[in-house]
Amino acid sequence: MANKTINFENQSLKGTIKVPGDKSISHRSIMFGSMAEGTTNVTGFLPGEDCLSTIAAFKQMGVKIEQNGTNVKIESRGMDAWEEPKDILYMGNSGTTTRLLLGLLAGSHIHAVLTGDESIAKRPMKRVINPLREMNAQFSGREDGQFTPIAVKGSPLNAIEYVMPVASAQVKSAILLAALNANGTTVIHEVEKTRDHTEKMLKQFGVDLNVEDKKISIQGGQKLKAVKVDVPSDISSAAFFLVAGAISPNSEITLKNVGLNETRTGIIDVLQQMNAQLTISEVDDSNPEAIGTLTIKTSDLKATVIGGDIIPRLIDEIPIIALLATQAEGTTIIKDAEELKVKETNRIDAVVDELKKLGANIEATDDGMKITGPTKLSGASLRTYGDHRIGMMNAIASLVTSGAITIDDPDCIAVSYPTFFEDLQKLSQ
């Protein structure tokens, strides 16, 4: 893998872009379209590597999927027509594909083996395996199913009432998908409210489920109906350019069609708390997934404290928020974010180690980090750890470093944002 050297010292960013489609919604559009009988058409799909892993897995199970850039057509005869894959299902780098598929396959008629890259091999799977086993799911895997490779043998499932020990939309979604194939009504209690795309999209696909704050009930035996899905732009990708616009000089960036589901908008709350010049316009909340236009300008930033129930609403944005905090006056504290340790890499250690190399005043804590700013940063050679979000944080840092930044594995960014460097280049013309 070739290194990439970038130097955006004193560069201002100007212009309007539409960042790619939402990764969480893109995954679910393929899964639910493959479950539904009929033709599901998806527009605005994210052709990132993670979502392509999801497509590949369903193709191996005989679902007809045609993907042309951001358009996808899924033709399925329903779950009962899925075929047993003739080879292992390769999850690549995608935690969402792995965990949601484990839930979905648990109550199917399919035998399958799931494996992924070296990062997936380290990510904890017991968080989904345990509740699914309570439902009578049959798994065998490394360390009793804690790690991939994991084999699943679909079996009849029973509904459960489950109090989630972690705040995780992937765990919640795996149980919901298994519950659709279970006998009886499954009830899930969340510790904190997490992204609710599964709930919203299942309803779109005709499923009846009941959500009362952090309690979700779903009756087994329901079938999905094919629909049209229009995927909004990913606020987690937009976050990199929101921060870029706020920290670079004389900048003004407009991002169109951004998903504004309130379980995802913690980054907007944080930018506002930190005094960023952010405006939200053209909000359209007539569909289940609200969208709007975000405009950010160079900002005089101040520190803040981030913790508690906002964490699941911005979990993937913490690396780029840490960079933002290096440019804010005062000490920013990020707490209650232990989940960062089990992402594509340990994101607490990765963020702290890489920003330190640039001269940031940052330290790791047990459940997050403390950052004091503003600090003038200097260029260095940085690692991505194969983690797309660390890679993009490193690249955006070059807007506030004197001297160039070299990134070891820029290709990993294609997991969620294949056109990231093109968009950065476009805004810096």
Q: Which residues sit in the known binding site for 3-phosphoshikimate? A: 23-24, 28, 168, 170, 316, 343
DSSP state of 418: T
The DSSP result for 256-304, as a single string, is EEEE--TTSTHHHHHHHHTT-EEEEEEEE-SSSS-EEEEEEE----B--
Q: Could you tell me if 210 and 217 are in contact, meaning their C-beta atoms sit under 8 angstroms apart?
A: yes
Which of 210, 220, 212, 257 has the alpha carbon at shortest distance from 237? 257
Which one of the spans 89-97, 172-180, 204-212, 269-277 is the region binding ligand PEP (CB under 6 A)? 89-97
User: Under the criterion CB under 6 A, does residue 96 sit at the interface with ligand PEP?
Assistant: yes
Answer for which of 32, 55, 139, 195 binds ligand S3P (CB under 6 A) is 195
Which of 361, 374, 304 has the alpha carbon at shortest distance from 335? 304
Q: Choose from ligand S3P, ligand PEP, none: what does 94 bind? Cβ within 5-8 Å by kind.
A: ligand PEP
> Which helix (H) or strand (E) segment is 334 a member of?
strand 330-334
Answer for which of 4, 28, 256, 389 binds ligand PEP (CB under 6 A) is 389
Binding residues: 23-24, 28, 95, 123, 168, 170, 316, 343, 347, 389
Shortest CB 176 distance to ligand PEP, Å: 16
Q: Which is nearer to ligand S3P, 4 or 99 (CB)?
A: 99
Answer for which of 117, 199, 234, 316 binds ligand PEP (CB under 6 A) is 316
Answer for which of 54, 170, 298, 384 binds ligand S3P (CB under 6 A) is 170
User: Under the criterion CB under 6 A, does residue 22 sit at the interface with ligand S3P?
Assistant: no
Shortest CB 318 distance to ligand S3P, Å: 10
Count residues binding ligand PEP (CB under 6 A): 10
- From CA 272, how far away is CA 287, in angstroms rounded? 25
Exposed e or buried b per residue across 205-216, where buried means at least 16 C-beta atoms within 10 angstroms of its C-beta: bebebebeebeb
User: Under the criterion CB under 6 A, does residue 98 sit at the interface with ligand S3P?
Assistant: no
Q: Choose from ligand S3P, ligand PEP, none: what does 169 bind? Cβ within 5-8 Å by kind.
A: ligand S3P
- Burial of 279 per CB tally in 10 Å (0-12, 13-18, 19+): exposed
- From CA 409, how far away is CA 425, in angstroms rounded? 18
Residue with the closest Cβ to ligand PEP? Answer: 95
Which residues is 147 bridged to in the sheet?
A: 142
Q: Choose from ligand S3P, ligand PEP, none: what does 173 bind? Cβ within 5-8 Å by kind.
A: ligand S3P
User: Under the criterion CB under 6 A, does residue 169 sit at the interface with ligand S3P?
Assistant: yes
Convert 205-241 into a string of H (helix), E (strand) and C (coil).
CCCCEEEECCEEEEECCCCCECCEEECCECHHHHHHH
Q: Which is nearer to ligand PEP, 169 or 355 (CB)?
A: 169
User: Under the criterion CB under 6 A, does residue 234 sit at the interface with ligand PEP?
Assistant: no
Q: Which is nearer to ligand S3P, 347 or 383 (CB)?
A: 347
Q: Could you tell me if 98 and 148 are in contact, meaning their C-beta atoms sit under 8 angstroms apart?
A: yes
Exposed e or buried b per residue across 235-266, where buried means at least 16 C-beta atoms within 10 angstroms of its C-beta: bbbbbbbbbbbbbbeebbbbbbbbbbbebbbb
Catalytic sites, residue numbers: 316
Q: Rule CB under 6 A: which residues touch ligand S3P?
A: 24, 96, 168-170, 173, 195, 315-316, 339
Q: Rule CB under 6 A: which residues touch ligand PEP?
A: 23, 50, 94-96, 316, 343-344, 389, 416
